A and B are shown apart, each in its own frame.
Chain A
Amino acid sequence: MQNYKMLNRKLKKYSPVFLGPMLIAFTTVFIVPFIMGVYLSFCKFTTVDNAVFNGFENFINALSDTNFLNALWFTVKFTAVSVITVNVIAFFLALLLTRKMRGSNLFRTIFFMPNLIGGIVLGYIWNLIINGVLGLMGVDITYSATYGFWGLVILMNWQMIGYMMVIYIAGIQSIPGSLIEASHIDGASAFQTLKSIIIPMIMPSVTICTFLTLSNSFKLFDQNLALTNGAPNRETAMMALDIYNTFYGSIGQQGVGQAKAVIFAIIVALIAWIQLRITRAREEQL
């Protein structure tokens, strides 16, 4: 303990070297802009220098903007559908690929690959495919918001299934083999083993995957921009894109954009907080 204190003092002299670069960079690009952002959400401004305080007006404008409310609803719908489809498909693929069959590594490699491609490129790849299919009916993805919605869901599935699958595979592989063996000896059917052993044992993975897809779907931007860019008529713009459009696509609305961003950040933080609570509660149970 004596040593520890002495070394701590020795360490302190070096704090500029160890902490300095990170502290400066993080303060410059995150802490300062964050505080400015919170303040500016209560101001009318067109550049950071001409801000005039105007109370809650931006928030009132934001919450009465039909584009924003529409984007919020669209995002919620999209997130709900994506979370379910991605996780169900990923989980079943993980079950199949942990059955000790030949070639499962090759399948894993293929399913995971789309996750590495960036959102913009992904969006344009699917733009070609979806417009190709819809072209057979003489329309394209900008024809109706329904097409845009399902286009985004398909894209999200294509990108996220492999990612969630590898997490589920890791979860399933960490179940002790003896447990599954014992259930076989006791005469449990494959379905009973799944229901009573595998699913309860991988609940931590389920939490992780649910919240990863949840926050990734909720914050989706690049794919949205590249696939539909909100068309038709901003109906398929999700929250991140709507905020972007408010900042850069309209005149004098920066304050409203910043207020929308604050609302968006609060919702995202709330989701993260719920996840933390659930994870903590589970850890306490164990």
Chain B
Amino acid sequence: MNKQKTVLQAIFYIILTALAIVFIAPIIIVAFNSFKNKLYIMSSPFELPNSNTFEGSNYLRGIVSSGFFGKDITSMLTGFSDAWENSVNALSPIGAFGRSLFITVFSVLLILLCASMCAWYINRSDSKFCRLFYNILVFSMVVPFQMVMYTMTSTVTNLSLNNPVGIIFVYLGFGAGLSVFMYSGFIKSVPFEIEEAAMIDGCNPIQTFFKIVFPILKPITVTVAILETMWIWNDYLLPYLVLGSRFKTIPVAVQLTMQGAYGSVDWGAFMAMLVLAIIPIIIFYLFGQKYIIDGVIAGAVKG
């Protein structure tokens, strides 16, 4: 009986290990191809780099051609001089990485602030308008982006929100559904009495919210923050339509490199870009793994 169990256990380990290798392999393959000469990538993608095929400059070319970093960091890393500034590929002060970071961080912060306030108000108020607003918010979670992409893009362009600051406002609107829904689910279980006591003691609703309610919401705030961060950081179509190629985020930079190449792709630089796009996500994952997995489960179960 025991021996049978050990054998079974061993078989399970073999299956799991084999699958784990299958899961990691694609990333590893991209990683070692990013150190190969561009001629040897598509022709033999599964060969490790050797002294013949090694190429160290992929990352420099990838950073420059995609505008991954801004002007200062790029010239510091690559030694490219002012000659670049007048060329077609002139780099802006902020690169795709900085822009993605800026948009993600500020959009998420704004969503957390506005959604928590909005959800608390909706739950504590007995007006019909709030109920209606909440129902439309929940409805918006079901509507696919394609339904509004054309009209939203023209509205946003007309309002001159088609820049890295304006898009934060756009994300606030598109993030509203999920975030208010998640906060509402949590607020329903928060007893009203503490807030009541605070308000009777003379706190106005704003003080009550920030001193009493918001700290209680911390667990759900972490969950919402993770879900919205993963969405906005990886989002492609919305920033592409709203910002276009003038202000590239990381996914847009990756896609446009491929789209604009028409068959003459610099595969070396492209592999380097893929690695650069993955590294921030892996760092985020390593630091917040437990929160991320728990947050994703909570989001799935409630959503």
Interface of A with B (CB < 8 Å)?
Answer: 3-4, 7-8, 10-12, 14-15, 17-19, 21-23, 25-34, 36-37, 40, 47-48, 93, 96-97, 99, 101, 103, 107-121, 124-126, 128-129, 131-132, 135, 158, 162-163, 166-167, 170, 208-209, 212, 219, 221-222, 225-226, 240, 243-244, 247, 254, 257-258, 261-262, 264-265, 268-269, 272
The contact string, 1 if C-beta is below 8 Å from chain A, for chain B 110-133, is 100011011011101111001001
Tally of chain B residues near chain A (CB < 8 A):
94
Interface segment out of the listed B50-58, B64-72, B78-86, B165-173: B165-173
Q: Which residues of B contact A129 (CB under 8 A)?
A: 25-26, 29, 45
The answer to whether B151 touches A48, judged by C-beta atoms less than 8 angstroms apart, is yes
The answer to whether A37 touches B148, judged by C-beta atoms less than 8 angstroms apart, is yes
Beta-carbon nearest neighbor of A124 in chain B:
B274
The answer to whether B45 touches A121, judged by C-beta atoms less than 8 angstroms apart, is no
The answer to whether A19 touches B118, judged by C-beta atoms less than 8 angstroms apart, is yes
Docked pose: A270 CA to B130 CA in angstroms? 25
Of B19, B137, B154, the residue contacting A26 (CB under 8 A) is B137
B43 interface contact, C-beta 8 A? yes
Of B43, B118, B144, the residue contacting A268 (CB under 8 A) is B144
Q: Which residues of B contact A18 (CB under 8 A)?
A: 117-118, 120-121, 205, 209
Docked pose: A265 CA to B142 CA in angstroms? 8
The answer to whether A265 touches B144, judged by C-beta atoms less than 8 angstroms apart, is yes
Of A27, A97, A121, A131, the residue contacting B277 (CB under 8 A) is A121
| Supplied contacts A30-B152, A33-B152, 10 more A-B pairs, CB within 8 Å | A3-B200, A18-B121, A19-B118, A27-B173, A29-B148, A33-B151, A34-B148, A116-B234, A118-B281, A261-B150
Interface segment out of the listed B91-99, B216-224, B295-303: B295-303
With A3-B196, A22-B176, A269-B143 known as contacts, the answer to whether A247 contacts B150 (CB < 8 A) is: yes
The answer to whether A109 touches B289, judged by C-beta atoms less than 8 angstroms apart, is yes
Q: Which residues of B contact A96 (CB under 8 A)?
A: 12, 15-16
Beta-carbon nearest neighbor of A240 in chain B:
B146
Docked pose: A243 CA to B149 CA in angstroms? 10
For the residues of A in contact with B, the DSSP-based class is helix
The answer to whether A23 touches B146, judged by C-beta atoms less than 8 angstroms apart, is no
The contact string, 1 if C-beta is below 8 Å from chain A, for chain B 243-259, is 00000000100110010
The answer to whether A268 touches B154, judged by C-beta atoms less than 8 angstroms apart, is no
Ranked nearest first, the 6 interchain pairs of A and B with the lowest CB-CB distance are A118-B234, A29-B173, A132-B45, A18-B121, A33-B151, A25-B173
Q: Which residues of B contact A25 (CB under 8 A)?
A: 114, 169-170, 172-173, 176
Docked pose: A124 CA to B255 CA in angstroms? 9
Docked pose: A26 CA to B285 CA in angstroms? 30
Q: Which residues of A contact B130 (CB under 8 A)?
A: 19
The answer to whether A264 touches B19, judged by C-beta atoms less than 8 angstroms apart, is no
Whole-angstrom distance between the Cβ of A128 and the nearest chain B Cβ: 6
Whole-angstrom distance between the Cβ of B293 and the nearest chain A Cβ: 5
Q: Which residues of A contact B192 (CB under 8 A)?
A: 4
B16, B120, B122: which has the most chain A beta carbons within 10 Å?
Answer: B16
The answer to whether A221 touches B42, judged by C-beta atoms less than 8 angstroms apart, is no
B120, B254, B282: which has the most chain A beta carbons within 10 Å?
Answer: B254
Whole-angstrom distance between the Cβ of A181 and the nearest chain B Cβ: 17
Beta-carbon nearest neighbor of A121 in chain B:
B277
